[in-house]
Structure 1
Amino acid sequence: MNSYKLSIAYDGTNYYGFQKQKKKPTIQGKLEEALNLLVDSYELNYSGRTDAGVHAKSQIVNIKTDLILDSKKISSLNKILGDSISINSFKIVSSNFHARYGATERTYKYLVRDSKSNYPHLNKNTYQHYSLLNLEDLNKVAQLFIGEHNFSSFSKIEKFNNPERSIFSSKWIKKNEIYEYTIIANSFLRNMVRNIVGVQLAYCDQKLSLQDILNELKKPSGERLNFIAPAHGLILWKVKY
């Protein structure tokens, strides 16, 4: 059986996330529909699920199959997948490669515009925040998340999930009119990145203090900080192995 590593980009706007769901369009569902037309049997795993509306520049999918994949077959798959999903690269990997459990780093980016920059053509993949933002303030709060913390106040906790995660990098830059946030970690909890972004924007809007955020990182109250940035500004950027 051959094992392949695929890098897949997608516009998540019209999908209910990556993971397959009954009677709802998902990225995994669309991918499997395409594969079923070319492959009799296969095993599929992926680096992590993304929520409804979230995009990806490089979601990693691992496929194990007896079929030999080549550029022609990948091109055929891309035609079936349509404009919103694209397999951008593929390579053969070891049979013990696992897209989820083998990942050591995951990088997400979040794109925001403030009240100074209202550009409707960017609405699909950047969040329009209707107040002014300050890069220095954003980075002041972003650095609080670096290190190992209990993120139960910054995510949707699922039963039996360990809420501790290690954040390797958390920073904002400004490119023209867009504030771009990059966060790198070993892995993320459900809704965690959107929650962290929402909390940072709430700090800039003076709805939370730095001390409020520190308190929840050091000694979680048991209640989630209910500031969650919209899904459409979030992009799964890169997965490292």
Structure 2
Amino acid sequence: MTKSKEQLENDINNSKYFSVSGENMEAAKQSLATKLVLDIIDYVKYYWYAGVSRSKKSYYENEPEIYMVIMDCLRTFNANKGFPFMHYLKRSIKRVLVRNFKERKEDKNTLLFLGNEDENIFPSLRDESEIYEDKEISQRKQEILEIIELEYQNLNKNAQTKYRKMILTEEFFDFLLSVENLNTDYSFIDYDMLNKYSNNKDLISKTDIAAMHNKLIQRVSADVRIFKERLRPQLRDLIKKYNIDFDCE
């Protein structure tokens, strides 16, 4: 029986695989890795993939490459960065899906492209959901952004700082990349940070941001938690109804 989405997320992000080390623990680490990979595959296949990719290619058609990304992420993930493994994995899988889409577009439009070198026939891609999602989902994502913006504007002016923009951009990073034609006038977004790390698998962490602004990581986590608690009543039903990949918990 497949675990619930919440149980899989918890088991994956808190797996002992990420903390076990040492030559004498290799057998235990391998055993943990086997279980972890199975949980990750179940999560991606049953709960996540359908919500971000509306292409004609099913999960099973992309499964070999997704599996390779999973194994690569397990080798390269740095738990000390301070963000959950699943954030790192999702960003990596999205990058592969975007690349695959670009390659298919290039194959299909090669002659057209060669026929008019001045014509830009390729879409501007930030995320595969920008390509595949329908208008309804796109509109709902805009609603989410407006709700976040309103809550940010409701903060005391003294709280609307560079620090606050950075922690919110880090927290909502994957969602922001998935938004089609993201407006550049939202006051809660640090656009310099978003652009800098949009093509970088290693996103700046809350620990890094805390150090930059001379704050304790506990304070950063608390500030994010309090802000999301204000969003939760407004967003929970919307996210669930349209299966939007946005964490407001």
TM-score, length-scaled by structure 2: 0.27
TM-score, length-scaled by structure 1: 0.28
Q: Relative contact order (C-alpha < 8 Å, sep 6+): which is higher?
A: 1
